[in-house]
Structure 1
Amino acid sequence: MKKSAPLILSALALAASGAFAANEPVIGLITKTETNPFFVKMKEGATAEAKKMGAKLLTASGKKDGDTASQIAAIENMTARGAKTILITSSGDAILPAVKKAQEKGVQVIALDSPFDGADALFATDNYKAGELIGQYAKAALGGKPAKIAMLDLFPGHPVGAQRHNGFMKGFGLQANDAKSNELSKTAETVCAADTDGNQAKGQTAMETCLQKDPAINVVYTINEPAAAGAYNALKKAGKEKGVLIVSVDGGCAGVADVGKGVIAATSQQYPLKMAAMGVAAGVEYAKGGKKASGYVDTGVTLIAGKPVAGVDSKDVKTGTDLCWGKK
């Protein structure tokens, strides 16, 4: 924590330069990293909404997913700088004591994208629904053939990872845990499961391992599009890329482009800009009127498919490109 704090202070100083106006709501945004295109788009949305609503935005991030020490330091510093609302994409439950201390000082804490215990509200994709959509698509696209599925997951115990995994299973028509469970469902059709940390290199390694276990895999579920790109690389290396259906979740511009190229058959697109903008608006409402946000707010999800299939509602690659985030 001693090593992380100076970095966060520097980031906050840049974001919070200048004196705050007496009636200017102060809102903090803490993301898992500052380089991931998802969080770049989230910051863009928060910045635009704060400017529109006359609020001061403080920003900070971890050095990587899982860097809770930097997030804790950011919560403490933002609270000290007068933030009335802090928006957080949590890297882990270690932040919970710091969140509680901030709330005891009157700070509203809203979870963005990743739920955590004790948050006043959650603004996020319905990740279970996102999984269901790609599961339904994969089932229909397979056309009644027996399924041999590789599940390329995030890492154990992560709620978003579990919701997407179990949602896919339900959408595919398999026995699945519900959206509240962090346990990953397994059936005879899921012939291999491996963790990827949402990383392309680990996605490729995981797919190579799964192919060794069962070379006849014909469906690949991936936690996100970088993992999907890694899986495709492994399949191509093995000469199997044309006989396997890959589905994913995220909707970043690179992922949507991969749908267009046929690397990914379909992906569920989420909207980080909208999450952050809605969070800032809720923060301004709390600062000016004292009304806190509460419960879960669904920020939307859309299935983007290279080829539509009967019975599953989807949008085309052009629509996905118009709404994507990251470099086009």
Structure 2
Amino acid sequence: MVSAGGCTVERHWGGNTGSGGGGGKAKVGLVTKTDTNPYFVELRAAASAAAQANGADFSALAGQFDGDNDGQVRAIENLMQQGATTILITPSSSTGVLDAIDRARKAGVLVIALDTATEPAEAVDATFATDNFVAGQQQGAYVKAALGGAAPKLFMVDGTAGSTVDTQRHTGFLSGIGLADGAPEIKGSTPANGDQSTAQQGVENLLQRTTDINAVYTMNEPMGRGTYAALKARGLTGQVVMGSIDGGCEGVQNVRDGQYAATVMQFPKKMAEQGVLAAVEYAKSGKKPTGFNNTGSVVITDKPMPGVESQTTEWGLQNCWGDK
């Protein structure tokens, strides 16, 4: 891979600029938030494999970091210049790429959001993603049940401000645990942009103010690992119920090893495959997918709780994504 202009290029095709559905070969471009997070590595690998299996050309680009909006805008422009017929995107900002998406759609490019919805959702033709509010709700319901009736004393380790994924998981968790933003039970919060080391530092800072906590929300598993490291250094892991969301193989193993009590698995391979199949259909017939298409989520834990549907880590390791 080579880095240029804030984007990372995996592979690109030749051909003239110009797009449109009907009667042609699909040229599928994927734009992810980064190319290093294992979740987006899996998304890219699944999309590439689906494109190859269905006779489509494929190109993958990414921002340099989670929140690199300018890099994603340049990626969209690059793919348009390369003649993409469909662009699949996981937007770092739910609003920051809207102008570039609008230009692509006006040029006849099918644009599908994967994993992360735009705001408004109608800015793209369709979305294939986890219902992130529900995933957050599942995590919150589990943590509430695992507290066994004790009042929560909660830290919230959030993702990237302005991202619909962050907002939906955050509000879903609060719904599941039965709290509102600003509730006194929330003892501290920190943004971590999906990053393990940023989460560790943020939680270390929160712990300087109080160690009287019994629950932690984490927006994704890398941040769960960073949070665990901060809690472990203070000898607090035994008193805290922590949940997360992702369902990567490393995260499922973290649950098995006791780093956190549960994670909510999502299915990036399904998102990528469905997005590519829609791109192939669009190139062939001009038919476009529409609306929100939920690809599902499942609580993974070895400590099941009454009233919370879940699967074991054994099941999780059979169905997870990433390196096992």
TM over 0.5: yes
Q: Deviations over 1:236-268 (max 9, x none)?
A: 111111111111111111111110001010011
Structure 2 match to 1:102: 104
Spell out, residue by residue over 1:169-198, the C-alpha distance to the aligned partner (whole angstroms, 9 max, x if none).
1111223xxxxxxxxx22121111111112
Matched, 1:242 2:243: no
Paired residue for 1:309?
305
What's 2:63 paired with?
A: 62
Q: Following superposition of structure 1 onto structure 2, how do residues 248-259 of structure 1 map, counting pairs within 5 Å?
A: 248-259=244-255
Correspondent of 1:129 among 128, 131, 134: 134
1:191 lines up with 2:192 in the alignment: no
Q: Which amino acid aligns with 1:168?
A: F
CA offset at residue 212 of structure 1?
2.6
Superposed CA RMSD in Å reads 2.0
1:16 matched to which residue of 2?
13
SS in 1 for 2:208: helix
Residue matched to 1:179: none
> Aligned partners of 1:309, 1:59: CA distance in 2, in Å?
41
Task: Say if 2:211 is the partner of 1:215.
Answer: yes
Contact 1:262 1:306 in 2 (8 A): no
1:7 Cα deviation after fit: 5.5
Q: More helix by proportion, 1 or 2?
A: 1
SS at match of 2:287: coil
Residues in 2 aligned to 1:235 and 1:211: alpha-carbon distance in whole angstroms? 8
Query: Is the 2:255–2:313 Cα contact (8 Å) retained in structure 1?
Result: yes
The one of 165, 172, 187 aligned to 1:160: 165
1:49-70 per-position Cα deviation (integer Å, ceiling 9, x unaligned): 1122211112211121222333
Give the number of equivalent residue pairs. Answer: 313
Contact 1:34 1:62 in 2 (8 A): yes
Indicate how the Cα distance of structure 1 residues 191 and 6 shifts in structure 2: closer, same or farther if over 3 A, else same.
closer
Q: Matched residues in 1 for 2:182 and 2:285: separation? A: 48
The question of 1:172 aligning with 2:177 is answered yes
| Identity %, equivalent residues | 44
Higher mean Cα deviation, 282-291 or 71-80?
71-80
TM-score of the two chains, using structure 2 as the length reference = 0.91
- Equivalent residue, structure 2, for 1:5: 5
Partner of 1:325: 321
User: CA distance change for structure 1 residues 81 and 202 in 2, over 3 Å: closer, same or farther?
Assistant: closer
Q: Matched residues in 1 for 2:294 and 2:158: separation?
A: 23
Structure 2 distance, partners of 1:267, 1:249, is 5
Runs of 4+ in 1 over 3 A off after TM superposition: 3-8
Code of the aligned partner of 2:270: K
TM-score (norm 1): 0.90
Match of 2:262 among 266, 269, 277: 266
2: CA distance, partners of 1:124 / 1:6: 25
1:84 maps to amino acid:
T
Alpha-carbon displacement from aligned partner over 1:97-136 (angstroms, at most 9, x marks no partner): 2211111111111111111141111111111111111111
**How far apart, in 2, do the equivalents of 1:15 and 1:317 lie?**
38
Q: Gapped runs of 5+ residues in structure 1?
A: 176-184
Distance 1:7 1:210 in 2: 34
> In the alignment, is residue 40 of structure 1 matched against residue 38 of structure 2?
no
Give the SS at the match of 1:322. Answer: helix
